[in-house]
Structure 1
């Protein structure tokens, strides 16, 4: 796949200009990097609180497998928009963590 707009010009159809998308339309469509989302302060606190709980459960399973697990709370009831925002937020945090680990490996010469 070629992401360059003019890379395939002149190949096949000689009327390539006729099939191009109007630049006016392209200005109206938001680019992926231009789309932002925001969680409220309360939602962020809830996310970090839930994250801390997940960390505690994971550490207990890893370091103290003989201890019975704490009962886990029921999943949150979320709207589709909120669920999508949280998925994006978690993916972002996951990517930041991966970048931090890569930098740590680089700094340690691993």
Structure 2
């Protein structure tokens, strides 16, 4: 009789151990899924911020330049200055995005 109780106790302990291990694996996978979804959201936010930054700044300036060139005779030097300004704005925006992206990953 004592052997039967001992075997039953061992079966219960092994079963509880297996259940706890399965629960641990489930929680670990859930945590990984949560971290991946956060990373995906950060990437999505960065893409939207990049699009907005490029669209709201340099793209609008280029659109303005195209209209001005079509409507008026624009001096070549003036056009080059505008284009250099657009280029500088793009560089600044990219640098700011790189800095904000590197601080988010720390």
Same-fold call, TM cutoff 0.5: no
TM-score by length of structure 1 reads 0.33
Q: TM-score, normalised by structure 2?
A: 0.34
Higher helix share: 2
Larger Rg: 2
| Relative contact order, higher structure (CA 8 A, sep 6+) | 2
